[in-house]
Amino acid sequence: MDPDFWRRRWQDNEIGFHQAEPTPLLQKHWPAIGAPAGGKVFVPLAGKSVDMLWFAAQGHRVLGVELSPLAVAQFFDEHALQPEIFETRYGIHHRAGDIELICGDAFALDATILADCSAVFDRAALIALPPALRERYVAELHPRLPADCRGLLITLEYPQHEKAGPPFPVVEAEVRERYGPQWSVELLERRDILATQPRFVEDGVTALDTCVYRLSRRRTAAG
């Protein structure tokens, strides 16, 4: 799955993953991770997520990264924000108030630009990636976040053979295997959501859970 796949999805408006309202599970569980007041939240594969607006409304600064120029432009246009635009080695930055959204490759971000991110929120990044890219995403990008970084991760679980992703199912064992070496992982909630997801039902999926994890980067982790 190359970057052009996601650019085409945005160009064709195939963005069923986009939500018009802030994620309810984010609003419910964000206080549990203990993110510092006013700290910066990293949002990978951000799209035009309104969760970024929610974070800003809570007093956080936001650093998002998104491949699609269309998604970035729509985010600022739809919310009547006039961003300052500039380019660095990380991509094209769009900054308005407390929200900075980089149009670029998440894997190009390094520890320098992520150094002041005290938290990370992942609702649709991990589950957007096939296994090989999920491994790279966790093994390469997350170690660049600072020690003591906190995170909230939301995943989906369903029988893999019943539907082709994305979104891909990521079971609890995989979350613990991938994050466990450098992060403490705690399952906060598992919820059956099949009845609320008609597209999955139409595709023949027989079971669908969403899971919410609290992540805490260990101070002793390398990276």
Domain coordinates of the chain in residue numbers? 3-14+21-217
The model carries a pTM of 0.92
CA dist., res. 20 & res. 75, Å (int): 11
Looking at residue 223, its pLDDT comes to 41
Query: Is 10 part of any known ligand binding site?
Result: yes
| Residue listed under structure tokens 């997801």 | 197
Peptide linkage before 169 cis (omega within 30 of 0)? no
User: What does the pLDDT read at residue 14?
Assistant: 61
The verdict on whether residue 53 carries a ligand-binding annotation is no
Low-confidence ranges of the chain (pLDDT < 70): 1-4, 6-7, 9-19, 220-223
What is the structure's pLDDT at 20? 75
- Residue 183 known to bind ligand: no
Are 62 and 43 contacting, i.e. CB atoms less than 8 angstroms apart?
yes
pLDDT confidence of residue 219: 75
Q: Give the pLDDT confidence score for residue 55 in this predicted structure.
A: 97
Domain 3-14+21-217 homologous superfamily, CATH: Vaccinia Virus protein VP39 (3.40.50.150)
- Determine phi and psi for 193, rounding to 5 degrees: -120, 10
Is the separation of the CB atoms in 30 and 152 below 8 Å? Answer: yes
123 marked as part of a ligand binding site = yes
